[in-house]
Amino acid sequence: MLPPPPTGIGLGLRSAFMAEIDAGAADGLVAFLELSPENYLWRGGAAVDQLGRICERFPLIGHGVAMNLGGVDPLDPRFFGELRRFLDRHPTPWYSDHLCFCNRGGELHDLLPLPFTTRTATRTAARIREAQERLERPMLVENVSYYLALGESEHDEPDFIVEVIERADCGLLLDVNNAYVNAQNHGFDPLEWLARIPLERVRQLHVAGHEPWDDATLVDTHGAAVRDEVYDLMAWVVERIGPVPVLLERDNNIPPLADLLAEVKALDAVYQGALARWRASEGQEVAGG
Amino acid sequence: MAERPQDLQVIDAFTAALREVDASAAISRDLAAFYAAHGLEGATLTAMVERGASRLKMYRAMVQGRLRRVIREFIPRTAARLGRPRYDADFAAFFAEAGSHSVVLRDVPVELVTWAAPRWRADPEIPDYLVDLARHELVAAEVRNAPGGREPPTGEALALGRPLAFDGTTRLQRYDHAVHRLPQEEDDRSEPAAEASALLVYRDRESYRVRYIELTPRASEVLARLLAGATVVAALQEGAAAAGEALDDDFLVGMTHLFADLSERGVILGAAVG
């Protein structure tokens, strides 16, 4: 039986502050923790024992980086077997990975862009269905930051995402920072982009900080505080879809945990405001009706 | 042969730009030629050329830079002694020729060292001890993250005719150089003694710290056999012979003390069961 999804602001669990979380520093301050199982597979020691204690106290969501959902090479059965065993031990309401490829004749250990074609969407959707069947859990896919479109695009990104998730019949993990970064890098309005995303498919949000690579390019580094523009996009979505888990990601230049918890609190204030607007509008009617 | 779809071709061309040693220069020289050489044609080729080279190079820098940083975190002193140009060149060759085949990022440093070890050993410009140093740096992460550990004692007394059970994190490391005695500082360039060395490495059951015990030749020969599953009597007999020592009282007293110490540390868990 899968646990119910949490709602509110959560934090990505990272080794830099895992011992503090284990010691109770975030108790009552985050709605959930999100973890990347790849960090714990085929592993023992302090981190795994800490995780065992932490997952007794926090709702968990599993979010991976290695599934290679948009890839060409067959899904890795050894990885899926170990991942399934991990998720059996650490149940999460769904499992998510990225709308990208990360392996081609070898692991590239990064989230790499896909051609926005029907052929790629069809192949990716079939692989998402296969992943759901192998894990026996619902899958979400996350929109990524892409810095270079590959090939001759038949679709733009929103149409490509819609085609994939409808063919796969899966949920969407909507990363609003990625939407913002892509909008800046490729010259479109992020709100117009969001308006084309089927929000009824959105099960979770990600927010993060980004940094400039050069004068023309922002990179989704997860290495800075979340920008106001990204807060606004998060709120825009929440006031339309209601309560969801919203995850603060931080992977680089990680500040003290207290600073991250302060950022969680600031995000929660914006989230609660958006939720109040949702309740005041159709959300209340939907929830009550 | 059927023509390959261009969306697969473009993924492969993009991947080649990330991996191939000479890709960066080739892209700078003639982007269209690079893509064409990797099978792009027609509208796909035109679209990719119109998008330019800068973000393609950015991807290459991000992917390779991240992996270089991860590997350096695991083998900082090895990387420092290689020097930046050689480290970067070896990484680039590894990534192009072999690459990573594990979804686990912490496996990449092991993959690089496995690929590089025979090349470093054969290269007169690389110090003889460098492979040992890399292996010594890697074993810390291997033991720290090893599955298992903290297995309960078997409750069975040690017996000559039975093998021993060990904590699951226990490893025996053998080096041709005493790299374990080198200073920890990355800028240190002192050279280790060319001295055959053996360490028993394990993860402390309470603190999770990685512990190292420098072994005498006799201890390493006996423990190597015990870790491979030999009975105590066979390990003692074969270990003494391999160490060129007599299996006399001195030898047996020494091994008794070793077994007692390792039992106290929770490395030996008793006689193996089953």
- Summarised one tens digit per residue, pLDDT across range B145-194 is 999 999 999 999 999 999 999 999 999 999 999 999 999 999 999 999 99
Residue B243: give its domain's CATH number: 3.90.930.50
- Res. B1: pLDDT tops 90: no
**B237/A116 Cα distance (integer angstroms):** 68
Residue A171 sits at the vertex; the CA angle it makes with A167 and A177, to the nearest 5 degrees, is 115
Q: Determine the distance in angstroms separating the CA of A139 from the nearest CA of chain B, rounded to an integer.
A: 19
- Determine, yes or no, domain membership for B218: yes
Residues of B in contact with A69 (CB under 8 A): none
Give the pair of three-digit tokens for residue B220: 């390493």
For residue B237, give its domain range: 149-271
pLDDT at A288: 36
Nearest CA in chain B to A71: B11
Residue B243: pLDDT band with limits 50, 70, 90: very high
Q: What is the mean pLDDT of chain B?
A: 97
H-only helix segments in A187-281: 190-195, 228-241, 257-280
| Chain A residues whose C-beta sits inside 8 Å of any chain B C-beta | 38-39, 41-47, 49, 66, 72, 76, 79, 101, 103-110, 112-115, 117, 119-120, 147-153, 213-214, 216-217, 219
Contact A194, A179 (CB under 8 A): yes
Q: Which residue has the tokens 């992460």?
A: B141
- Determine, yes or no, domain membership for B111: no
- Determine, yes or no, domain membership for B259: yes
For residue A94, give the nearest of A275, A264, A245 by alpha carbon.
A245
Domains of chain A (ranges plus CATH)? 8-288 (3.20.20.150)
Contact A168, A138 (CB under 8 A): no
Q: Which residues pair with B238 in a beta bridge?
A: none
| Contact check, Cβ <8 Å, A106/B100 | yes
In a structure prediction context, what are the per-residue pLDDT tens digits for chain A, which is 289 residues long?
A: 899 999 999 999 999 999 999 999 999 999 999 999 999 999 999 999 999 999 999 999 999 999 999 999 999 999 999 999 999 999 999 999 999 999 999 999 999 999 999 999 999 999 999 999 999 999 999 999 999 999 999 999 999 999 999 999 999 999 999 999 999 999 999 999 999 999 999 999 999 999 999 999 999 999 999 999 999 999 999 999 999 999 999 999 999 999 999 999 999 999 999 999 999 997 554 443 3
- Determine, yes or no, domain membership for B2: no
In the DSSP assignment, the letter for residue A201 is: G
**A36/B73 Cα distance (integer angstroms):** 20
Helix (H, G, I), strand (E, B) or coil at A57: coil
pLDDT at A276: 97
**A156/A198 Cα distance (integer angstroms):** 15
Residues of B in contact with A107 (CB under 8 A): 99-103
Top-confidence residue, A183 or B4: A183
C-alpha pair distances (Å), A169 with each of A47, A178, A200: 35, 22, 12
| Chain B residues whose C-beta sits inside 8 Å of any chain A C-beta | 5-8, 10-12, 14-15, 18-19, 43-44, 46-48, 51, 54-56, 58-59, 62-63, 66-67, 98-105, 108, 144-149, 168-169, 203, 208
Give the pair of three-digit tokens for residue A30: 């985050």
What is the ipTM for the molecules in this complex? 0.95
Please compute the mean of the pLDDT values over residues B53-69 and round it to a whole number.
Answer: 98
In the DSSP assignment, the letter for residue A45 is: S
pLDDT at B6: 87
- Determine, yes or no, domain membership for B9: no
Residue B4: pLDDT band with limits 50, 70, 90: confident
**A51/A87 Cα distance (integer angstroms):** 13
pLDDT at A1: 83
H-only helix segments in B199-243: 217-227, 232-243
pLDDT at A283: 59
Please compute the mean of the pLDDT values over residues B107-117 and round it to a whole number.
Answer: 98
Contact A104, A71 (CB under 8 A): yes
pLDDT at B237: 98
For residue A47, give the nearest of B69, B193, B147 by alpha carbon.
B147
The number of folded domains in chain B is 1
pLDDT at A27: 97
Say if strands A95-98 and A139-142 run parallel, antiparallel, or are unpaired: parallel
For residue A132, give the nearest of A65, A216, A90, A75 by alpha carbon.
A75
- Determine, yes or no, domain membership for B119: no
- Determine, yes or no, domain membership for B221: yes
Give the pair of three-digit tokens for residue A269: 């204030």
Q: What are phi and psi of B140, to 5 degrees?
A: -60, -50
pLDDT at B195: 97
| Contact check, Cβ <8 Å, B146/A151 | no
- Res. B246: pLDDT tops 90: yes
- Determine, yes or no, domain membership for B137: no
The DSSP line for B31-89 is: HHHHHHHTT--HHHHHHHHHT-SHHHHHHHHHHHHHHHHHHHHHSHHHHHHH-HHHHHH
Nearest CA in chain B to A147: B55
The gap from C-alpha A61 to its chain's centroid, in whole angstroms, comes to 10
